[in-house]
Structure 1
Amino acid sequence: MADERETYKQLDARSLRGLAHPLRVRILGLLRTEGPATSARLAKRLTEDSGNISWHLRRLANTGFITEETDFGTRRERWWRAVHDHTRFDIDDVLDGDPRSGTHPGARGHRARLPAGDHLLGTGLAA
Structure 2
Amino acid sequence: MARMTLRATGRAPAEDVWERYARPGLWPTWSPQIRSVRVRGDRIEPGMEGEVVSLPGVPVAFAVEEVSEARRRWTWRVRAGPVRMRLHHSVAVLPDGRTGTELRMEGPLPALVLYAGPARLALRRLVRARAGA
Q: What TM-score results when the alignment is normalised by the length of structure 1? A: 0.26
Structure with a larger share of its residues in helix: 1
Bigger Rg, structure 1 or 2: 1
